[in-house]
Amino acid sequence: MQVRNFCIIAHIDHGKSTLADRLLEHTGTVTKRQMKEQLLDDLDLERQRGITIKARAVSMRYMHKGEEYELNLIDTPGHVDFQYEVSRSLACCEGALLLVDAFQGVEAQTVANAYAAMEHDLAIIPVINKIDLAYARPEEVANEMEQSLGSDPESIVKVSAKAGIGIEDLLTTIIEKVPPPSGDPDAPLQAMVFDSNYDDYRGAVTYIRVMNGTIKKGQKIRFLRAKSEYEVIEMGQFRPGRLPCDTLTSGQVGYLICNIKSLKEVHIGDTVSVPGEKASEPLTGYSRPKRMVYCGLFPSDGQDFSELRDALEKLSINDPSFEFEPETSDALGFGFRCGFLGLLHMEIVQQRLEQESDVDLVQTAPNVTYEIITKSGQTLMIHKPQDVPDPGDIEEFRQPIVRCNIVVPTDYIGPVIQLCQERRGIQTAQEYLGPTRAMISYDIPLAEVIYDLHDKIKSCTRGYGTLDYELQGYEPADLVRMDILVNGNRVDALSVVCHRADADRRGRAVVKKLKSEIERHMFEVAVQAAIGSRVIARETVTAMRKNVTAKCYGGDISRKRKLLQKQKEGKKRMKAVGNVEISQKAFMSVLSTGENG
């Protein structure tokens, strides 16, 4: 039986999961009765949001010209934050379907994914989807694909995943264009671990792609990186549920169950081989994902700390691109500093924690990783503003710069350029994909991108602009740490790193917000924003006052003065010993708007 391994890559909402549904249906892998929309998106959050978050594998059998073929499909996410999932899928395939919407055309993420597939030397099959739409423009989109991706218009397959048009042609093209796997079934076993999940009854389930050799049920295997040995208790393929089988040979994709009690023992990118002298060479694996955004997660009720830790451990096992470490905050108590690939990834993790583990969270403002070179020549990686040393110790403050590729209709080029320049962006390229669409490239500080650049681009282009970004490196900039002081004490959870030119505006916005949220005390409370020892903004929460002179009517003024003086001294003493209570609500309101100010 011949094997073909391929994945589907595309921009968000171009129809990857729907095309996967049609392929499953057409090959008879699932019956009409079992069929539901976006069958492979099985996380609750994926179905609620209508997006793919985790890559999923499925094996299909298909008869072509009297010969049976095994087609292994890996469905991938489209959002830029889940690029790591896509890179893992590409390493397990020989071919890729590059899917483009017949109306929206080539988008920023389409270009990024196409280049990633080319780097992995995959056979790329260009596909135009949604050709049955009344406003589809397949000819223009084919020209755009030729200009931006170098696709031959003759080789483009035109389909409608929803209506099931052109699926037969697509399957034939996959069989003819995607090369068969090159592995040797008789060589020593060599298989790549590309994903894993945890089954409450069976333990860790390891997803593998066999590169060389054959693996049999009951045999002993060794994970080369983890240096651990197990016996294969069950193995099989995804069709799309787990279907046991007795052997997997080179080129096939499937799963292993080996009585592994903890997912910590399964490393994604590890190589599975045989124990002893006959073990194969380890595969190169995957480069570690770069965490771009960090934020603090704290339980809103301090008692839930251990529950939050268990929930984070469970989630990080299934999602290796997310990391966490304990931290403490004077304001919020015990919690964790968590690293994410991007803002959507952060939002998804937070929602999964709240839904799957029922933990109530407080989240600090997201920030990016900075590099600081101190006067003594040390290089520090700063994940949170509190770690920034005093200004006198800093030789150079560096920020991460990303290359943003923005695809926009030509009518909106002006507003997008203005938006990027306001974010201190430097234009690097501008090319026209067709008469009505252009791609603009800008180098912009990551801190300016993650908060709301995507939303702003969408609103100034009426939803037609798309953004994709990749890290370029670190560059020096005029950055400062801005602290918020309440009653003279620094509130660590509200510190931010920002550009010196923005500090005044942001400082004023935060102190104004805090003034309206902090409840009045018996003494006046000063709310200040400061850079080092220089205060740049101040608001005062006035004290509650009792009218102590109410009972003095008429008579000598000195009696009133004496009472007022006594009250003033009492308030002064209270201010010296009093603590300012900042409610959870005040924190939440500042953390949700402090960044956008």
pLDDT at 581 over 50: yes
pLDDT at 152 over 60: yes
The confidence band for 85, taking pLDDT boundaries of 50, 70 and 90, is low
Q: Higher pLDDT residue, 77 or 532?
A: 532
CATH architecture of the domain with range 293-365: 2-Layer Sandwich (3.30)
pLDDT at 54 over 50: yes
Least confident of 4-8, 371-375, 389-393, 436-440: 389-393
> What is residue 594's predicted lDDT score, i.e. its pLDDT?
41
Query: The CATH number of 481-593 is which of 3.30.465.10, 3.30.70.2570, 3.40.80.10, 3.40.50.2300?
Result: 3.30.70.2570
Q: Are the CB atoms for 206 and 215 separated by under 8 Å?
A: no
pLDDT at 44 over 60: no
> What is residue 118's predicted lDDT score, i.e. its pLDDT?
85
CATH 3.30.70.870 region(s) of the chain? 293-365
CATH 3.30.70.2570 region(s) of the chain? 481-593
CA contacts within 13 A on the Cβ side of 193: 27
CATH 2.40.30.10 region(s) of the chain? 190-273
What number is the average pLDDT over the span 69-86?
70
Specify the CATH class of 371-476 in words: alpha beta
> What is residue 587's predicted lDDT score, i.e. its pLDDT?
60
Q: What is the mean pLDDT of the chain?
A: 78
What number is the average pLDDT over the span 492-499?
78
pLDDT at 552 over 80: no
Tens digits of per-residue pLDDT, 188-236?
A: 888 888 777 777 788 888 888 888 888 888 888 888 877 888 888 888 8
CATH 3.30.70.240 region(s) of the chain? 371-476
Tens digits of per-residue pLDDT, 358-412?
A: 777 777 777 788 888 888 888 888 877 777 887 778 888 888 888 888 888 888 8
Tens digits of per-residue pLDDT, 11-27?
A: 777 777 788 888 888 88
pLDDT at 312 over 70: yes
Least confident of 156-170, 363-377, 575-589: 575-589
Tens digits of per-residue pLDDT, 464-494?
A: 777 777 778 888 888 888 888 887 777 777 7
pLDDT at 246 over 70: yes
Q: Higher pLDDT residue, 390 or 88?
A: 390
Q: Higher pLDDT residue, 502 or 573?
A: 502
Residue 56 CB neighbour total at 10 angstroms: 24
pTM of the predicted structure, to 2 decimals? 0.68
Q: Are the CB atoms for 203 and 212 separated by under 8 Å?
A: no
CATH 3.40.50.300 region(s) of the chain? 2-177
CATH superfamily of 2-177: P-loop containing nucleotide triphosphate hydrolases (3.40.50.300)
The confidence band for 596, taking pLDDT boundaries of 50, 70 and 90, is very low
> What is residue 12's predicted lDDT score, i.e. its pLDDT?
74
pLDDT at 524 over 80: no
Residue 14 CB neighbour total at 10 angstroms: 27
DSSP string, 524-545: -EEEEEEETTEEEEEEEEPPP-
Work out the percent of the chain whose per-residue pLDDT is above 90.
0
Residues 6+ apart with CB under 8 A from 249: 185, 210, 213, 214, 215
What number is the average pLDDT over the span 30-38?
59
Tens digits of per-residue pLDDT, 131-145?
A: 888 888 888 888 888
Q: Give me the phi and psi of 52, to 5 degrees please.
A: -95, 130
pLDDT at 310 over 80: yes
Least confident of 20-24, 231-235, 432-436, 504-508: 432-436
> What is residue 580's predicted lDDT score, i.e. its pLDDT?
59
Q: Higher pLDDT residue, 391 or 146?
A: 146
3-state secondary structure 252-292: CEEEEECCCCCHHHCCCCCEEECCCCCCCCCCCCCCCCCCC
How far apart are alpha carbons 108 and 50 in whole angstroms? 20
Work out the percent of the chain whose per-residue pLDDT is above 70.
84
* Binding-site residues for GTP: 13-18, 129-132
pLDDT at 42 over 60: no
What number is the average pLDDT over the span 285-300?
73
How far apart are alpha carbons 97 and 159 in whole angstroms? 12
Q: Are the CB atoms for 527 and 515 separated by under 8 Å?
A: yes
* Binding-site residues: 13-18, 129-132
Least confident of 76-80, 251-255, 420-424, 490-494: 76-80
Residue 488 CB neighbour total at 10 angstroms: 10
pLDDT at 456 over 70: yes
> What is residue 593's predicted lDDT score, i.e. its pLDDT?
45
CATH superfamily of 190-273: Translation factors (2.40.30.10)
